[in-house]
Structure 1
Amino acid sequence: MGEEDKGFVIKDRRRFSEDAPASEEAAPRTDPEPEAETRKARTDAEPKAGERQPPLPEVNFSTFVFSLATSALLHLGDLADPMTGQTSVNLPLAKQTIDILGMLEAKTRGNLDDEETNLLSNLLYELRMKFVAAGKK
């Protein structure tokens, strides 16, 4: 019974860096610049005192599809980044977003109403045409 009442201590002897002794933990790297940039971006995105943010749209299938389509248009360079105001082209990300919409179309086939089906198929057609055109540039 005496031995069962005693606790035990576990010491972690793994090395987290080559030149640090086993008992020391590697100090986490702190880079003040990304922290400051994150803080600045967060404060820029927050509404100023007295400003009202417009209400967010209702979340439904159509707004979700529009959100993904907007992301694809941003990556195709058709829309400017709202934070920087600059456009940039990133075809792999645009393709991934278009493929996600295609997967949604396949997985929801037969479960959407006519309006949602038409919205998704028309958006996919337009995005695919824009992707092909962007690939030729």
Structure 2
Amino acid sequence: MSDENKAEQPLEKMPLPQVTFSTFVMSLASSALVHLGEVPEPETGQMMPSLPVAKHTIDILAMLQEKTGNCLDPDETQLLEGLLYDLRMKYVVKNK
């Protein structure tokens, strides 16, 4: 299927990525970005900022970091640390 045809498909018809810890964390981070007002909501294309929901999602990522401790491989650890840093900095800027 060409990229052009994929773009025309509704989101619910598009194939989903394999579920891994990294894709799960990226999904949460994407949600946080939507609620920070950094990117539009995928289904509507509208900006949907909500700082309390963004903070809640960031807190979920922080809890995952704490609970997974030494169980992650180095790439997963780096991904989670980097996402948390970036999201926290964006939250601080938005919350001023």
TM bracket, shorter-chain basis: 0.7 to 0.9
The C-alpha deviation readout for 1:93-115, integer Å capped at 9, x for no partner, is 00000000000000001000000
Relative to 1, partners in 2 of residues 1:73 and 1:46: Cα closer, same or farther, differing over 3 Å? closer
Relative to 1, partners in 2 of residues 1:46 and 1:108: Cα closer, same or farther, differing over 3 Å? closer
Aligned-pair distance for 1:78?
0.6
Q: As a proportion of its length, which structure holds more helix?
A: 2
> Identity, % of aligned pairs?
57
> What SS does the corresponding residue of 1:81 show, helix, strand or coil?
coil
Tell me if 1:88 matches 2:67: no
Q: Which amino acid aligns with 2:36?
A: L
Q: Which runs of 5+ in 2 are unaligned?
A: 1-9
Match of 1:59 among 19, 23, 28: 19
Question: Which structure has the higher relative contact order (CA within 8 Å, separation 6+)?
Answer: 2
Using structure 1 for the length normalisation, give the TM-score: 0.60
Segments ≥4 residues shifted beyond 6 Å: none
> What SS does the corresponding residue of 2:71 show, helix, strand or coil?
coil
Match of 2:35 among 72, 75, 85: 75
Which residue is equivalent to 1:111?
Answer: 71
Distance 2:11 2:89 in 1: 36
Q: Which runs of 5+ in 1 are unaligned?
A: 1-44, 48-52
Taking only aligned residues, the RMSD between alpha carbons, in angstroms, comes to: 1.5
Which residue is equivalent to 1:131?
Answer: 91
Using structure 2 for the length normalisation, give the TM-score: 0.84
Aligned-pair distance for 1:46?
7.2
> What SS does the corresponding residue of 1:85 show, helix, strand or coil?
coil
